[in-house]
């Protein structure tokens, strides 16, 4: 897979779990990445130009003059996720890689232990997802589950309180969950949570939104909910 963008590539270079293959950089990109990546580079970059990267990745891709060919990261286990502190984010068929990446960025910012997606109905690990995650893909486990409902049941068995987010639910109050470890469950961009997912959650809550806007994009909603759940 090709990763692109300064933050995504700098984070991948610093990740010992990421197997790196080939690094292409313009002169400007090498200077920019060098400013944020300290230490010896794990592989020697090849100097290139933007025209070559446009041809390789597509003219619509905002690559910032940087491309890294790398293997996908190893799949973490659910037990390894449970062994780390922090909330868990569960995505029920969120399909846009930019949304998944943005949610990963917010999850990392608010100390989440992992993001869990459904294997069949979630985007693959791609350059678009990694760029939207802005480095979070390299530090936050992304676990692919075959069955979201069974995964929620396993989380509940591990004493994790599963909270579904839906616009029709009562307003989320982080103070109400103080002292509990939580899993925040978000549904797809169009349909929201599926019925069985909703029914498996311990509670369904919403966001207190004022004004004419009825709801937020799923990645924005995730950021607001994670802030509320983790604020002092």
Domain 2-70: CATH class, spelled out: alpha beta
Q: How far is CA 63 from CA 25, 37, 70, 184, 197, in A?
A: 10, 17, 15, 32, 37
- pLDDT digits (tens), the chain, 232 positions: 999 999 999 999 999 999 999 999 999 999 999 988 877 899 999 999 999 999 999 999 999 999 999 999 998 999 999 999 999 999 999 999 999 999 999 999 999 999 999 988 899 999 999 999 999 999 999 999 999 999 999 999 999 999 999 988 999 999 999 989 999 999 998 889 999 999 999 999 999 887 666 678 999 999 999 999 998 8
Tell me the pTM: 0.93
Q: Which CATH number fits domain 78-230: 3.40.1280.10, 2.60.40.1180, 3.40.50.300, 3.40.250.10?
A: 3.40.1280.10
Helix H or strand E segment including 222: helix 218-230
Helices (H), 90-203: 97-109, 127-133, 148-157, 195-200
Residue 6 sits at φ, ψ, to 5 deg, of -60, -50
Residue spans per domain, the chain? 2-70, 78-230
């Amino acid at each position: 897979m090709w990763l692109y963008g300064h933050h995504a590539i700098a984070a991948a270079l610093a990740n010992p779990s990421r197997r790196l293959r080939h690094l292409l950089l313009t002169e400007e990109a090498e200077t920019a990445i060098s400013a944020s990546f300290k230490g010896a580079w794990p592989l020697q970059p090849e100097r290139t130009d933007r025209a070559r990267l446009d041809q390789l990745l597509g003219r619509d891709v905002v690559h910032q003059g940087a491309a890294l060919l790398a293997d996908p990261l190893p799949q973490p286990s659910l037990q390894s996720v449970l062994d780390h502190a922090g909330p868990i984010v569960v995505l029920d068929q969120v399909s846009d890689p930019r949304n998944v990446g943005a949610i990963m960025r917010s999850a990392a910012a608010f100390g989440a232990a992992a993001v869990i997606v459904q294997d069949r109905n979630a985007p693959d690990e791609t350059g678009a997802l990694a760029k939207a995650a802005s480095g979070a893909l390299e530090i936050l486990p992304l676990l692919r589950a075959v069955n979201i409902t069974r995964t929620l049941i396993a989380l509940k068995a591990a004493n994790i309180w599963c909270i579904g987010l839906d616009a029709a639910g009562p307003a989320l109050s982080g103070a109400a969950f103080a002292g509990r470890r939580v899993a925040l469950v978000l549904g797809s961009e169009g349909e929201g949570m599926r019925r069985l997912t909703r029914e498996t959650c311990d509670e369904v809550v919403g966001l207190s939104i004022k004004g004419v806007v009825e709801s937020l994009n799923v990645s924005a909603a995730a950021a607001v909910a994670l802030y509320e759940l983790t604020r002092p």
